[in-house]
Structure formats: structure tokens, C-alpha cells
Amino acid sequence: MTTHSTPLAAWPRPATPVRANLSRVLALGAVAGPVVFTSAWLVLGFVSSGYTVSGTHIAPYSHVSQPISGLGMSGTAPFMNTAFVLSGLLLLAGVIGVFRGTAAAGRPVARRVSTVLLSLSPVDLVVVGLFDLESPLLHFTGAGLIYLLPVLSFPVAGRYLRGIPQWRRFGNGLLLAGALTLVLAVVFTMTFDVDTTATGHGVAGLTQRVLFTEVLAWFAVMGWLARREPADQQDA
């Protein structure tokens, strides 16, 4: 009788505790990033004495009328811009950790596409932190992409995640999150006016904060769910 041996490399490799734990630790960045960012604008908004942009001083600072980017100028600039960059890097690590942990589910192309699309918003957070309001083209492009990209990236990632049993409910939620983000983005756009903001009136600061909080909340929940996943369900 002739027996055929299967090359060792052809056998599927089981999950290793080290690899699974690394994915779970990285995923925690998706929770830490939003916490750092939200805490920064919340605290700095109360201590800010106003900011100057293009020679115009805007004071007092208000969470309701002023955009978060205003905290990236003048006295609070070092702290807010550091928070932009740090939260972006943490969030990027979190996205990588979450989808690294779903490798055992297969569909590698869908997983990679979801990872790339969701990673773009964290990268834009870093861009906003590196280029303040005195670099309007890069700053506003980065800021816009932070909340516009999820209109596409959330449903794409949702379609992938809903195919994994333990992620199905969250995946379905992401399918709806894209539409919700679009509605909030439209509301923010309709309430934002440069002249009104410069005079300390309007509610653009509030609508922007609602929009950013909604977007980052989905990332945070995703990171927390991945952090709680049993190690034997993570990584091929």
C-alpha cells in the first residue's frame, strides 16, 4: 500500500496564544484613540482663552460654536495637535488589531479592503494634527475625510464582519452606521459658516462634536468587542 504524506506547510496552522494576544492588545487602540481625542477637546475647550487664525483672534472659545480644530491653534495647540496624532496612531493600531484577529474567518480580500478603508480615517487624524488651520488645504481635506470616509468604510467593513458569527450583530450595525454618518455630516455642513463661527455664533462646534463622537464610538465598540473575543476565535 502506498501512502502519501502531506507537506507540513500545507497543514493549517492553529492559532497561537502570542499571536492572538497581540491582536487583542492592538485592538485596544481602537478604544484608547477615541478616549484620548474626546478627553483632549473636552478638557482643552474649558481652559482655552481663544485662538488666532489668519490674524483674526477668536474668543472666547465655545464647545457649541467653535470647531475642534480651533484648539489646535495658540496656547492649546501643542496639546490638541499631539492628541490628534496620538489618537490617530492608536486608532490605526486598533483597526489593524481587530482585523488581524479575524484572519481565521477567511475572505482575505474583503478583510484587507476593510482594513485599508477603516485605516484611512485614523491616518487623516494624524494629518490634521500635523497641519493646523494655517495650512487650510491639507487640514480641511484631512478633517473632511475623517468623517466622510466612514460613509463608505463602515458598510464595507459591516458586510465583511456580518459574515462572522460572533461579529454579525455589530456588522449589521455598521451597515446602518454609514447612513447615520452621512446624515450627521450633512447637518454639520449645513450649520458651519466661517463668518458665523468667527463671531462666536452658531452651533457648528456642537454638530461637529456629535459627528466625531458618533464616528469614533463605532471604532471604540469594535475595538472593545475584539478585545473581549476568546483567544481561540482569533487568528488563523
Query: Which of 6-20, 31-45, 103-117 is the most confident on average?
Result: 31-45
Asked if residue 136 is part of any domain, the answer here is yes
Asked if residue 13 is part of any domain, the answer here is no
pLDDT at position 17 is 58
Q: What integer is the mean pLDDT of 161-170?
A: 94
For 102-152, what is each residue's pLDDT tens digit? 988 888 999 999 999 999 999 999 999 999 999 999 999 999 999 999 999
Asked if residue 100 is part of any domain, the answer here is yes
CB 66 within 8 A of CB 197: yes
Alpha carbon distance, N-terminus to C-terminus of the chain: 34
For the chain, the average pLDDT equals 89
**Sequence-separated (6 or more) residues with CB below 8 Å from residue 25:** 97
Distance CA 9, CA 17 (A): 20
Band of the pLDDT at 229, cuts 50, 70, 90?
low
CB 29 within 8 A of CB 49: no
Is the pLDDT assigned to residue 86 strictly greater than 70? Answer: yes
Is the pLDDT assigned to residue 13 strictly greater than 70? Answer: no
Asked if residue 138 is part of any domain, the answer here is yes
Report residue 153 as a C-alpha cell: 468604510
pLDDT at position 19 is 61
3-state secondary structure of 30: helix
Asked if residue 187 is part of any domain, the answer here is yes
3-state secondary structure of 58: strand
Asked if residue 4 is part of any domain, the answer here is no
Distance CA 142, CA 81 (A): 13
Q: What integer is the mean pLDDT of 179-197?
A: 94
Asked if residue 8 is part of any domain, the answer here is no
Task: Please state the domain count of the chain.
Answer: 1
pLDDT at position 231 is 41
Asked if residue 58 is part of any domain, the answer here is yes
Task: Give the domain range for residue 30.
Answer: 23-228
Band of the pLDDT at 54, cuts 50, 70, 90?
confident
Q: What percent of the chain has pLDDT over 90?
A: 77
**Across 1-5, 104-108, 192-196, 208-212, least confident range:** 1-5
For 213-226, what is each residue's pLDDT tens digit? 999 999 999 999 99
